[in-house]
Amino acid sequence: MLLLMMIFVISIIIANIMIMLALILAKKSFNDLEKLSAFECGFDPKSSARLPFSLHFFLITVIFLIFDVEIVLIMPMITIFNICQMMHWFIISTLFILILLMGLYYEWNNNMLNWTN
């Protein structure tokens, strides 16, 4: 236990030393108007670089990422089919897919899947 605590303390000390060295040796940059402005082929920008974006497209992106992660979580179910017991696999897979379907139903009821809002 003492050895584990010593390793933990030494790793914290080394991490802090590395952070301090990085802060001391880091290149200092002074922000000026030219560095903060948007770059458009050497010309002054015609409009603001900070354009508002549609919140609807942001929600669609988040929903896509959620479904993408769900697919990544479903794929190992296929590979472990031969390894584990059939009843356990069926119960866990059914519960997982039911939870995903309830989330899809919730998004559908709140009109999050409609493109025209």
- The predicted model gives 51-77 an average pLDDT of 81
Which amino acid, residue 10?
I
SS (H, E, C) 3-44: HHHHHHHHHHHHHHHHHHHHHHHCCCCCCCHHHHCCCECCEC
pLDDT, position 43: 61
**DSSP code at position 111:** T
* Per-residue pLDDT reduced to its tens digit, 93-107: 899 889 888 988 888
pLDDT, position 20: 92
Token code pair at residue 57: 């497209």
**Residue whose C-alpha is closest to residue 10's, from 43, 83, 18:** 18
pTM of the complete model beyond 0.75: no
Domain boundaries, the chain: 2-109
Domain 2-109, second-level architecture: Up-down Bundle (1.20)
Alpha-carbon span 13 to 116, nearest angstrom: 55
Cβ(40)–Cβ(46) under 8 Å? yes
Q: How many residues does the chain have?
A: 117
Determine the distance from the C-alpha atom of residue 58 to the mean position of all C-alpha atoms in its chain, rounded to a whole number.
14
Alpha-carbon span 95 to 99, nearest angstrom: 6
